[in-house]
Chain A
Amino acid sequence: MAQTGHLTQSPPRAAAPWVTPVTRLRIIILLTVLIAWEAVAASGILLRDVVPSTLTIGRSLMEVLFRPDLKVSLAGAAFSMPAFYWHLYVTILEVAIALLIGGTSGLAVGLALGANPFLAKAFERYLYYLGPTPKIVFFPVMIMWFGVGPESKIAMGTVSAFFPVVLSAAAGMRQIEGVLIRVGRSFRLNTWQMVTKIYLPAMREPIVNGIRLGMGVAMIGTLLAETKLSNKGVGFMIIDAYNTFDMPRMYAVLLMLFVIAIGANSLVGRASRR
């Protein structure tokens, strides 16, 4: 950092790029964590099951990913596959539908609020204050409305995803440079052209950001609902591992879940930059 001269690091002189101080530190951190973990696992300070050896976790991960423990029949042909992929499919589908419904309605309402100051003054404060509240407490209501199946999980995801999208779309629309709208009008664009050629491209960043946040909370809403009451989905796998006290399996599923969530998030994040 140029503004704090005493913090600058010495330039890596004639060193191959993979042994820069940063890489070295990363390796050191990873190794330290790994060794500490193994030490705790071997010593049994905590219950052995709470901190199982990384080898055990690795074995569980292999089982989760590759042991075909679910029989399926597809188009008349019966075969086996790891149950993880089936549960993952269920959860991804739930989150995707939730994001579709919550995102589309959020975008529509957000555009209306952004375009109409009167509506924004009348209603936006409620959305703004309801946004950061624990949505999961609505789950009993969602079960009453939509049953115990995937529908109630989709409803949880939808409610969660709606708020970030609506708020960032409304704010994004108000942030558009006024001169861009005047350019559009001076070229005599009709309403549809104004929306597709000016408003939406100018709002791309806040909208994608809202969708990214919405996806994150939709995932949390859906998965938490699955851990509360369900018989399928990744959330169910986690709580099932807890109920059967299979900690290595829980670590394995959590690990996969986090990798997928981080990957999906950075993928959507990349879409906001050109």
Chain B
Amino acid sequence: MPAVDPILVVENIVKRFETQDGVLVAVDDVSFNVMPGEFLSVIGPSGCGKSTLFNVMGGLLGGYEGRISVGGETVRGPHASIGMIFQEESTFPWRTVIDNVAFPLEIAGMAKVERTEKARHFIDLVGLNGFERRYPSELSGGMRQRVSMARTLASEPKILLMDEPFAALDEQTRLLLGDKVLQIQQDLKQTTLLITHNLTEAVQLSDRILVMTYRPGKTKRIVEIALPRPRNSEIVSSDDFGRYVAQIWSDLREEASKGLKDDEARRVRSGGAGAS
């Protein structure tokens, strides 16, 4: 038993959706804890309810069974201790980089001079110094995602919640940004929860990985990643890394192929319906 209490407790979450074909159980009885400073990834095939879980934990989606608590306090609606980073491009196109990053500080009522200085610190942290006065439209996709990251970090959340933040980026950018995340997480001792469908990303970054099943989304297994810290992207070439990837893939493979079959069946069905 660990000496410290978990910072995030997720207990028996069930989330159902009403759809045209009946009730869909997106998340089915998922429970886990996250320790302070820990990096936990939730991995699963597309359509396993990962994003639902993300929105539920972020307080953006209600109407579920079970309980989520941060430091013993039940989450109802978006919680001040949880900072979210979204999968989609989410920078404000009408604000410069520095004004984007200073956004949560502005909302908190911090004076202009102070918040600019603080925002600059977080821009440095994600390695975007020199781009403070640029607009997001002038930046690459990877840079924009770093702006979102800096913006969320600037609110100094106890828990960082990320939903496939690198999904839209190419593999090399993804690995390098993974390095950035590792470095930030190790520097700030940032508790982080990453939702992903990317195997190497999950193994590269995590202390533990929760593998979800395909529809209904249940916990299949929780894997401890005992790779040494501090890490960087070079770890992908180590033997241990390969073993972990292989192990998790064997779990994931069955689920992913279920998802693929289901998806194909749905396409055939809707294609047939469209023709008639």
Interface set of A (CB-CB < 8 Å, partner B): 177, 179-180, 182-183, 185-189, 193, 197-198, 201-202, 204, 274
Contacts and interface: CB of A to CB of B under 8 A. Distances in A.
Contacts of B155: 187
A184 to B, nearest CB: 9
A201 B94 contact: yes
The 8 closest A-B pairs by CB, nearest first: A179-B88, A186-B84, A201-B94, A179-B90, A188-B78, A179-B86, A186-B78, A183-B90
Nearest to A189: B107
5 contacts: A179-B86, A187-B155, A188-B80, A201-B94, A202-B93
A187 B90 contact: no
Contacts of A189: 107
B110 interface: no
B103 interface: yes
Given A185-B78, A188-B78, A202-B94, A179 B107 contact: no
Interface size class of B (residues with CB under 8 A): 20 to 34
Interface in B31-66: 55, 58-60
Contact of A197 (B83, B107, B135): B107
B78 A187 contact: yes
B89 interface: yes
Nearest to B94: A201
A158 to B, nearest CB: 29
A201 B92 contact: yes
B60 A185 contact: yes
Interface string B128-159: 00000001000000000000000000010000
Given A186-B83, A186-B84, A197-B107, A180 B60 contact: no
A23 to B, nearest CB: 32
A202 B93 CA distance: 8
A187 B83 CA distance: 8
Given A187-B103, A188-B78, A193-B107, A182 B86 contact: yes
A197 B102 CA distance: 13
Contacts of A193: 107
Contacts of B82: 186
